[in-house]
């Protein structure tokens, strides 16, 4: 508690995201009352009315905790990242988009032109005059400006310093509740916060560690998509040839997907110590392919039709290469 007895302030913001993170926060059920009891919610566009200028008027560092979800896709996202960094004591990169780019970062495989062509120019788009968004429009009342679209989506920590990372697409509600508990305790001096830069609300190991499926020596002759086979419900999915990302993915979800019969797709991001998530998966998958013949190996690899999507579905913006070559062409015509 602050000295004058006022409640500490809480904010949540969404940048390039789907809104699932906000739902995950509301999904902590009655714990949300703890948030309300312990915090004064000052800015949360999804849940309450507030204007950016209200945030600008707050003293720097006056928001105790900001959960920032979403990647930095455009000028507005970046401006709010800087603004909320300035106003917040603790800024949490909340959810996969803010931590590592997530699904929106898959657009980093394409140039801005390709993205705009797809959105405004495909046969299913009703846009007979080929209208494209203009960042500045001269209206009679004066120029109207909309935020510019950036060629490459960035993670929050590629734009401003981040105190904590909370992975997941979205973070599991029980993990959010645990983090809320911890921060509330810390506010009352009953707990200490982990060192800055830590990943919170997740484990340090891999999804395999939490997965109850039986594991043996893996030898793969064929990769199969999960919908094309009837998988053994008790055996490791990768052993059955289903590309499961659990072995490079951070624990914390409780291995929900493998327990429900679906492969891990990697939403909790890289496990502790992994530098490049996709490289770790490539290493692992290639190691267990059971062939020494280049032709046969290529045929087995055909079973993974979209390697970049398989290995970087959530992690592209945070990977070593971060974006494909066409996306780096900053001057591409939009």
CA 156 to chain CA centroid, nearest Å: 10
**Is residue 331 a contact residue for another protein (CB under 8 A)?**
no
- Least Å from the CB of residue 314 to another protein: 15
Of positions 278, 313, 314, 315, contacts another protein by CB under 8 A: 278
Nearer to another protein, 182 or 256 (CB): 182
* Helices 31-38, 173-187: inter-axial angle, 10-degree rounding: 30
- Least Å from the CB of residue 40 to another protein: 17
Q: What's the N-to-C CA distance of the chain in angstroms?
A: 50
- Under rule CB under 8 A, which residues in 152-181 are in contact with another protein? 152, 154, 157-163
- Under rule CB under 8 A, which residues in 58-97 are in contact with another protein? 60-61, 75, 78-79, 82-83, 85-86, 88-91
Helix intervals (H) in the chain: 20-26, 31-38, 52-57, 75-87, 96-100, 112-121, 173-187, 207-210, 256-259, 277-287, 294-301, 307-312, 325-328
Nearer to another protein, 45 or 147 (CB): 147
- Least Å from the CB of residue 294 to another protein: 7
Size of the site for another protein (CB under 8 A): 62
Q: What is the DSSP letter of 300?
A: H
- Least Å from the CB of residue 198 to another protein: 9
**Among the listed residues 17, 20, 11, the one whose alpha carbon sits nearest the alpha carbon of residue 45:** 11
**Is residue 57 a contact residue for another protein (CB under 8 A)?**
no
**Is residue 294 a contact residue for another protein (CB under 8 A)?**
yes
**Among the listed residues 183, 169, 178, 181, the one whose alpha carbon sits nearest the alpha carbon of residue 201:** 178
């Amino acid at each position: 508690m602050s000295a004058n007895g006022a409640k500490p302030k809480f904010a949540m913001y969404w940048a390039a995201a789907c809104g699932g993170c906000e739902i995950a926060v509301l999904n902590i059920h009655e714990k949300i009352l703890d948030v309300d009891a312990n915090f004064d919610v000052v800015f949360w566009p999804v849940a309450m009315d507030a204007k950016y200028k209200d945030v600008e008027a707050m003293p720097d560092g006056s928001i105790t905790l900001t959960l920032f979800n979403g990647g930095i896709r455009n000028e507005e996202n970046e401006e709010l990242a800087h603004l909320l960094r300035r106003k917040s004591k603790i800024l949490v990169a909340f959810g996969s988009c803010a931590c590592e780019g997530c699904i929106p970062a898959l657009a980093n495989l394409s140039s801005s032109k390709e993205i705009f062509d797809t959105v405004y120019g495909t046969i299913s788009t009703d846009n007979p005059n080929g209208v494209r968004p203009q960042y500045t429009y001269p209206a009679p009342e004066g120029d109207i400006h909309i935020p510019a679209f950036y060629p490459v989506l960035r993670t929050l920590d590629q734009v401003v310093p981040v105190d904590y990372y909370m992975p997941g697409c979205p973070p599991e509600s029980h993990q959010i509740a645990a983090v809320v508990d911890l921060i509330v305790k810390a506010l009352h001096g009953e707990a200490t916060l982990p060192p800055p830069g830590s990943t919170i609300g997740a484990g340090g190991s891999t999804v395999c560690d939490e997965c109850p499926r039986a594991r043996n020596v893996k030898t793969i002759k064929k990769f199969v998509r999960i919908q094309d086979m009837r998988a053994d419900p008790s055996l490791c999915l990768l052993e059955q040839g289903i590309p499961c990302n659990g072995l490079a993915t951070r624990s914390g979800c409780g291995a929900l997907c493998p327990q429900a019969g679906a492969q891990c797709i990697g939403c909790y991001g890289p496990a502790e110590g992994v530098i490049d998530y996709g490289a770790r998966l490539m290493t692992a998958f290639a190691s267990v392919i059971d062939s020494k013949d280049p032709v046969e190996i290529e045929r087995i690899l055909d079973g993974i039709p979209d390697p970049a999507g398989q290995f970087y579905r959530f992690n592209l913006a945070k990977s070593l290469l971060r974006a494909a070559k066409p996306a780096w062409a900053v001057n591409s015509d939009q």
